[in-house]
Amino acid sequence: MDPIFLAVRQTHAIFGREVLSVLIVAAAIYLAVTYRPNAPRSPVARILPVLIDIQATLGLIYWLVGVFTGIAYFLSFPFILHPLLGLATAVVGHILFGARTPFARLGRWSAPAALGIILVMVLSNVMIAMMV
């Protein structure tokens, strides 16, 4: 296999499994503790969706290269759910951390609630990837 392909795979796997999961939990705690009503969005709340976008982009590159090189299980069930759930996580991250989040009424608990949903999506995607 191509070393660049393997490097993208390793980066995507490590960033998704270890780094992103820990960052989501740390961000939930930080945003709950530092909450102030009517304050501008925290830099953490602005950066986290971008990190999820980077992870989704790395995964999409890895998946597309795998599909076009003929790796059969990339199009099989349940692995086909992995890129779809990754893209859905990126979309949900932007919706839940946008300027008009649906969780705005939760106050201090809006960020932890949103990050809880995102964490479930990330961890379920990790489990799908480990099944193959």
d(CA 78, CA 93) in angstroms, rounded, equals 23
- Residue environment code for 88-126, b if the CB has 16+ CB neighbours within 10 A, otherwise e: ebbebbeebbeeebebeeeeeebbbbbbeebbebbeebb
**CA neighbours within 13 Å on the CB side: how many for 63?**
19
pTM, whole model, 2 decimals?
Answer: 0.89
Token pair listed for 35: 């909450």
Model pLDDT for residues 93-109, shown as the tens digit of each residue = 999 887 788 888 888 89
Q: Domain residue spans in the chain?
A: 3-131
d(CA 127, CA 40) in angstroms, rounded, equals 35
Model pLDDT for residues 4-54, shown as the tens digit of each residue = 889 999 999 999 989 999 999 999 999 999 988 888 888 999 999 999 999
